[in-house]
Amino acid sequence: MSPNPRSKSTATKENALDSQEIDAFLAIKQDGRLGSNRGDGWWHVTPIWYLWEGGRFFHTLGAGRRHVRNLREDAHATLCVDEDPRLTEGLEAGARSVVCFATAELSEDEGLIREVTEKILVRYLGPEASAYVDPIMAEGRTIVTLTPSHWLTWDYNKD
């Protein structure tokens, strides 16, 4: 197999996404991977649904989740959202990724929890998902808001 000239191994200035491209990419319904510092030298990384709105990420998490505990101790977080069609379509398909290095803020405000939880459910599951808001609220939730400090992005389809 000969090397693909369009396949890159790192982000470059030439293949970076601009702010409009980031917004468009994050508007696609897909999951991200949230990383938070466990405090024991290991990072806790899990798939997560998100809402990208007003230049910030919003997540609704069960109040007892590991990420919530971690972020109370250390507000540094990393969120990665990517797509890699090369896995099914071959190297010519390229790949895109947005890695956000952010500071987390946690909220137990019931109004915010209800609003964000409903928006996320509807984003991923459709309007009928609003019916799940009350049962989810009964579990106890925390909203995690990530404010980006810097980005690492790439689109391997850029020339």
Query: pLDDT for 73-107, tens place per residue?
Result: 999 999 999 998 788 888 777 888 999 999 999 99
Residue 53: pLDDT band with limits 50, 70, 90:
very high
Domain residue limits at 36: 19-120+140-155
Q: Tell me, what's the pLDDT at 91?
A: 78
In a domain, 72, yes or no: yes
Residue whose C-alpha is closest to residue 115's, from 143, 146, 140: 143
pLDDT band per the 50, 70, 90 thresholds, residue 2 = very low
pTM for the predicted model, two decimal places: 0.89
Whether 2 is covered by a domain: the verdict is no
pLDDT bucket at 1, cuts 50 / 70 / 90: very low
Which tokens sit at 142?
């925390």
CB 33 within 8 A of CB 80: yes
- The count of structural domains within the chain is 1
